[in-house]
Structure 1
Amino acid sequence: SNAMTDAAIAEKDLGNAAYKQKDFEKAHVHYDKAIELDPSNITFYNNKAAVYFEEKKFAECVQFCEKAVEVGRETRADYKLIAKAMSRAGNAFQKQNDLSLAVQWFHRSLSEFRDPELVKKVKELEK
């Protein structure tokens, strides 16, 4: 690993600590810094999406989920991390009562990784 990567991971860890304390503003600052230092890490985009989700800023959440998927594809990231971004986008649409888009994203997520919990959830939603 190089110094930039290490610094990016350190920023992510600070972001995670802020997120756990529900200091979302501070979490964003650290995740933004992490992205600036290492724009190729899907986790930083996933983490920012999570903060937006908690803030109920669902459009921004989806935007960062899409960015996470894009970066994940480019860098051949772990398919579970790509699936996570897709299911979070689905959750954001579900929160906005857009169930058809939610289900679309959940299916995309399941095609990356068959999470048994998500399989159950989608079956419920499709009833």
Structure 2
Amino acid sequence: MDDANSWYKQGNDMMMQEKNEDAIVAYDKAIELDPTYTSAWNNKGIAMFRLKRYEDAIACYDKTIEINPNHANAWYNKAKALRGLGQSYLDKANEDRVTAAKIINQSLAIFESAEKCYVQGDILSGEKK
């Protein structure tokens, strides 16, 4: 295939089969042949979004918007990708918070063990009865 539209259609076929990585390759070929092919840029962004590659998706939507600032779907898709990226940051923060809580609980258990050791040391040295 040596025309952008054929590669674009192949990308769409790959997306329908949920073969997003293959779709990206096909869209890249379409874009290589026609760098202003907004539908290929937009759909490449959709494939990236499906793979949770939000920053890459946003870059594709930005390119689509650069070529055609009135491309409504690109704006909508960029909004979804930004929300996805934002949510991924919240999820990471939540994971860190959970990890922090586990570490705090482990620390508290260690301090409790340490306190028991201090008490036992006091008992053995005659400081407490």
* TM-score band, normalised by shorter chain: 0.5 to 0.7
Q: Which residue of 1 aligns with 2:83?
A: 94
Q: Which residue of 2 aligns with 1:113?
A: none
What stretches of structure 1 of length at least 5 have no aligned partner?
74-78, 99-127
2-structure distance, mates of 1:96, 1:72? 23
Matching of residue 58 in structure 1 with residue 54 in structure 2: yes
Query: If the length of structure 2 is used for normalisation, what is the TM-score?
Result: 0.62
Number of equivalent positions = 87
Cα offsets for 1:9-49 (capped at 9, x unmatched): 00000110011111111101110000011111111100100
Q: Which residue of 1 aligns with 2:120?
A: none
What stretches of structure 2 of length at least 5 have no aligned partner?
88-129
Q: Which residue of 2 aligns with 1:67?
A: 63
1-structure distance, mates of 2:27, 2:37? 11
1-structure distance, mates of 2:66, 2:25? 22
Quote the RMSD (CA, aligned, Å): 1.8
2-structure distance, mates of 1:97, 1:71? 25
Whichever residue aligns with residue 97 of structure 1, its letter is: G
Query: If the length of structure 1 is used for normalisation, what is the TM-score?
Result: 0.63
Match of 2:34 among 32, 38, 41: 38
CA contact (8 A) 1:46 1:65 kept: yes
| Identical-residue share of aligned pairs (%) | 30
CA contact (8 A) 1:41 1:72 kept: no
